[in-house]
Amino acid sequence: MTTLATATLDPTDITSPAFRADPFPTFKRWRDERPVVPVKTMVGRAWLLTRYDDVEQGLKDERLVKNKANTATPDKPHRGAPLPGFVKAIQTNLLDTDAPDHTRLRSLIHQAFLPRLMAQMQTRVHELAHQLIDKAEQKGEMDLVRDFAVEIPLVVICDMLGVPEKDRDKFHHWSKTMTNIGKPIEAIMAMPSMYSMVGYLRKLFRHYRENPGDNLATMLVKAESENSSLSEDELVGMAGILLSAGHETTSGLIANGTLALLNNPDQLERLKTEPALMKSAVEELVRFAPPVLIATPRYAREDYEVSGTKISRGDSVFAMIGSANHDERKFEQADQLILDRASNKHVGFGQGIHYCVGAPLARLEASTSFQVLFERLPNLRLAVKPEELRWTAGLVPRGLQAMPIKF
Ligand code: HEM
């Protein structure tokens, strides 16, 4: 049995753009030869779970917690570094908390994303997609990432929260710096963005406390004042996670998904001629071209064993979503894009209590985007050679830096 202290670290840099361009052969090697891989990451040394069963179980496992302080025992207290107030506020969010705080925060927000409410947003997303394509046609060129895939989720989440149009670009900049973090230096470089975003959100909430509107920010400040169910930091943490988690991820699905369809012209042709395929196509694109490659870190609350490897209390563990979704032990022809794949139990939106709260919105945005994009631009193709495409660095989301297209 191996422990992290004695394990030989794998040298792969899982945050590098080169690895993220095509991580799937490495994932396969790991699944076959060493399914629980020790690597060095920005949270220190960590274990990577690579097989579907281990990932699915790991995402649900109560022995793995999200808040490292919850790994403490009376004889081994947790000694976290002192954090400035704005970092603490941003970290007071769903993805960094465990029950019971997580349960309380989640119950406040989940009704904002009910499929019934999402369906009402269909028209807005549809109009927005058409406007973006009108603009691209006038310019005669388009970077699918910047001019389309990023814009749709950015506008939608800013509108939902009540962020005015003039401030949207700031949010894009802040959330981009805060989500594409793979190295400690990048975490330090993200501090000014974090600081500005927290200051902005505090002002936004102050504004809606005095001038209530029909938006999520108003709903959250009401929850704060009516039943004291949210602290000021929790308000900020909630808005911060919705803005960042709801934005880089969906843009990744739209751009990675379009690229996957261009690389599989037979499947793209089927989608154009059989629109009823869209629902299963979106699920297959989340599986095949995962916009979230790696789940956020978890920490072992006790010693336990996974696939013959001993994980010790306090160790960091990453569930490799992109590897699980290509595991041939779970999916037939796992490396093929099959838009009408039957029984597609992918883990692209996570699993367990942290399952993506925004999944209904992401599905709506992606299906509407693909529908409008291929209807309006039937001759859409890459304007650069595939090998010229560059992927972003980072740990969690997987996306393209740019995707110039011709149409
Ligand atoms: C294609 C787009 C998306 C993908 C692939 C995705 C994926 C994920 C995954 C894998 C998790 C779990 C992470 C973990 O357990 O470590 C997650 C959680 C979360 N997602 Fe998404 N997401 C997407 C879009 C969205 C959108 C549009 C929103 C909101 C506007 C959103 C908000 C959240 C939040 C708040 C959580 C934390 C939930 C919790 O801890 O209870 N996501 N997402």
What CATH number labels 17-75+84-406? 1.10.630.10
Is the minimum distance from the CB of 246 to ligand 1 under 6 angstroms?
Answer: yes
pLDDT tens-place string over residues 223-254: 877 766 788 899 999 999 998 888 889 999 99
Helix, strand or coil for residue 227?
coil
Q: How far apart are CA 365 and CA 126, in angstroms?
A: 9
Which pLDDT belongs to residue 232?
86
354 close to ligand 1 (CB < 6 Angstrom): yes
Average pLDDT of the residues of the chain: 92
Of 254, 296, 356, the residue with max ligand 1 atoms within 8 A of its CB, to mutate for a pocket test, comes to 356
Closest atom of ligand 1 to CA, residue 95: 40
| C-alpha 237 – ligand 1 centre gap (Å) | 14
Please tell me the predicted confidence (pLDDT) of residue 172.
85
The alpha carbon of residue 176 and the mean position of all alpha carbons in its chain are separated, in whole angstroms, by 12
Looking at the DSSP assignment, which residues form a beta bridge with residue 405?
Answer: 142, 382
Q: Whose CA is nearest to atom 43 of ligand 1?
A: 356
The DSSP output letter for 356 is -
Summarize pLDDT for 150-187 with one digit per residue, the tens.
Answer: 999 999 999 999 999 999 989 888 888 887 777 778 88
How far apart, in whole angstroms, are the C-alpha atoms of residue 222 and residue 234? 13
What confidence score (pLDDT) does residue 157 get? Answer: 93
Q: Which atom of ligand 1 is nearest to the CA of 321?
A: 10
In 215-234, which positions are buried (b, 16+ CB within 10 angstroms) versus exposed (e)? bbbbbbbebbeeeeebeebb
50 in Cβ contact with 77 (< 8 Å): no
Whose CA is closest to atom 41 on ligand 1? 354
Per mean pLDDT, which range of 36-40, 240-244, 296-300, 346-350 is the poorest?
A: 240-244
Answer whether 60 contacts ligand 1 (Cβ < 6 A): no
Question: What is the rounded distance in angstroms from the CA atom of residue 39 to the CA atom of residue 395?
Answer: 13
- Asked if 296 and 396 touch (Cβ cutoff 8 Å), the reply is yes
Reference 268, options 189, 353, 338; nearest CA is 338
Phi-psi region of 307 (alpha: psi -120 to 50; beta: other; left: phi over 0): left
Q: Tell me the CA–centroid distance for residue 349 and ligand 1, in Å.
A: 6
pLDDT in tens, 69-111: 999 888 887 777 777 888 888 888 999 999 999 998 998 888 7
Residue 1 pLDDT greater than 70, yes or no: no
User: How many angstroms separate the alpha carbon of residue 128 from the centre of ligand 1?
Assistant: 22
Which atom in ligand 1 lies closest to the alpha carbon of residue 350? 10
Whose tokens are 């920490």? That residue is 299
For the CA of 109, the closest atom of ligand 1 is 35
Is 0.85 surpassed by the pTM of this model?
yes
- For the beta carbon of residue 99, count every other beta carbon within 10 angstroms: 12
Show the CA angle centred on residue 240, arms to residues 230 and 259, nearest 5°: 140
Shortest CA distance to 219 belongs to which of 162, 299, 143, 283? Answer: 162
| Ligand 1 contacts CB of residue 255 (under 6 A) | no
Burial of 284: CB neighbours in 10 Å, binned 0-12, 13-18, 19+: buried
Which single residue is written with the structure tokens 């465990």? 98
Q: Is the pLDDT of residue 404 over 90?
A: yes
Identity (one letter) of the amino acid at 62?
A: E
**Domain map (residue ranges) of the chain:** 17-75+84-406
Ligand 1 atom at shortest distance from the alpha carbon of 157: 30
Of residues 391, 241, 242, 240, the one with CA closest to residue 322: 391
- Report which of 332, 334, 260, 329 is spatially closest to residue 291, judged by C-alpha positions: 260
Evaluate the CA torsion angle 24, 393, 318, 366 in order and state its sign: negative
Round to whole Å and give the CA distance between 127 and 124. Answer: 5
Higher pLDDT, 76 or 267: 267
Residue 30 has pLDDT above 80, yes or no: yes
Q: Output the CA 351–ligand 1 centroid distance in Å.
A: 10
